[in-house]
């Protein structure tokens, strides 16, 4: 009985960690969208937890910011009050990252000391913590790219930062679902083989679509071609493959980046309903059928948010909601894949 209770507590803790990481990713999107990401020009993992508390400290933080290209090239007329406004977004983002580290480490050590963790779970949790530390380093590596001559964060580093965050989130969620739903073996492995393959493909494709969205954000491609379904009146916009070598267009050409993201989203809009339709012919538990229905709902909401964000030229609230919608769609697909594996 105690073992079941302990497992339930661990699952709740892991899902709470997922929820806070989810919030962290949305706050990161808002930080980027408000142009706040380069307001803190020093990386102080310990001392950086204390924000400026006096007028003199605020002036010192602003003086440091003024030494970097973003101020000199973009915000030369910024006031101290305007600096404070962008500072709080980046500060909150970093503070939440530290909170996640504590939120994970303290219970992990407690469960370890109490002997609640078997050997495989110990290693999984240790891996999660190491990935979290790597994510902090990746975040600062990303910020550093905007503190040089060009006050613009590298889209490659931004995408890597988001990719690692999604991987950590997915890993924690997957382990939690594993603990919550052990393998049943009740349904025929043969009958669920095709849905499982399709589910794995869909989950991976959603992940890639999220990363393509990071390139859209990193190059500010969403502020161009603000029409749908055509781009400047054409299916293929002009200038899609003008960069050399060819591969650069996929990651640095605004027209190509936005086109690819639209194309991937459109493919999901076609593939997921087909997936849902084909799964109707498979004998599945009611909870998994409910997840299929939820996947359709999440898809419709996400596509609506994406088109609205584009047509309205990327308002902060809608763009952040669009990122949240992508993560929700990914989460439902991940849950579905995990459950199908267990049948």
- 37-79 residue pLDDT tens: 889 988 777 657 889 999 999 999 999 999 999 999 898 999 9
pLDDT in tens, 234-271: 998 988 999 999 999 999 999 999 999 999 999 999 99
CB 26 within 8 A of CB 323: yes
For the chain, the residue count is 343
pLDDT for 85 beyond 80: yes
Chain center to CA of 84: 26
- Residue identified by tokens 């006096």 is 54
DSSP 251-293: HH-HHHHHHHHHHHHHHHHHHHHHHHHHHTTS---HHHHHHHH
Chain center to CA of 76: 32
Q: How far apart are CA 124 and CA 196, in angstroms?
A: 24
Q: How far apart are CA 53 and CA 40, in angstroms?
A: 15
Chain center to CA of 94: 15
Tokens representing residue 116 in the block: 């609640």
Tokens representing residue 79 in the block: 């006031």
pLDDT in tens, 196-208: 899 999 999 999 9
Tell how many helices (H) and how many strands (E) occur in the chain: 11, 0
Domain boundaries, the chain: 1-180, 183-343
- Residue identified by tokens 């969620």 is 173
In the DSSP assignment, the letter for residue 314 is -
pTM of the model: 0.94
């Amino acid at each position: 009985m105690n073992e079941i209770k302990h497992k339930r507590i661990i699952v709740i803790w892991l899902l709470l960690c997922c929820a806070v990481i989810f919030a962290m990713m949305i706050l990161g999107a808002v930080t980027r969208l408000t142009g706040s990401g380069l307001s803190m020009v020093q990386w102080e993992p310990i001392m950086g937890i204390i924000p400026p508390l006096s007028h003199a400290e605020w002036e010192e933080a602003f003086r440091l910011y003024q030494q970097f290209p973003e101020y000199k090239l973009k915000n030369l007329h910024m006031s101290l009050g305007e600096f404070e406004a962008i500072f709080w977004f980046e500060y909150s983002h970093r503070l939440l990252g530290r909170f996640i580290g504590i939120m994970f480490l303290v219970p992990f050590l407690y469960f370890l000391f109490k002997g609640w963790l078997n050997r495989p779970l110990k290693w999984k949790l240790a891996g999660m913590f190491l990935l979290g530390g790597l994510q902090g380093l990746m975040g600062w590596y990303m910020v550093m790219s905007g503190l040089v001559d060009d006050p613009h964060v590298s889209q490659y580093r931004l995408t890597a930062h988001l990719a690692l965050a999604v991987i950590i989130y997915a890993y924690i969620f997957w382990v939690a679902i594993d603990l919550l739903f052990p393998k049943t073996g009740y349904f025929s492995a043969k009958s669920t083989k095709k849905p499982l393959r399709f589910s794995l493909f869909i989950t991976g494709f959603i992940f890639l679509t999220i990363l393509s969205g990071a390139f859209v954000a990193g190059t500010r491609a969403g502020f161009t071609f603000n029409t749908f379904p055509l781009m400047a009146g054409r299916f293929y916009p002009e200038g899609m493959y003008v960069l050399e070598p060819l591969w650069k267009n996929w990651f640095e050409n605004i027209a190509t980046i936005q086109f690819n993201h639209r194309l991937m989203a459109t493919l999901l809009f076609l593939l997921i309903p087909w997936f849902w339709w084909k799964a109707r012919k498979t004998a599945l538990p009611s909870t998994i059928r409910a997840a299929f229905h939820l996947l359709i709902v999440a898809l419709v909401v996400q596509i609506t948010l994406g088109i609205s964000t584009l047509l309205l030229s990327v308002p902060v609230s809608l763009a952040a909601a669009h990122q949240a919608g992508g993560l929700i769609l990914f989460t439902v697909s991940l849950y579905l894949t995990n459950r199908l594996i267990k049948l």
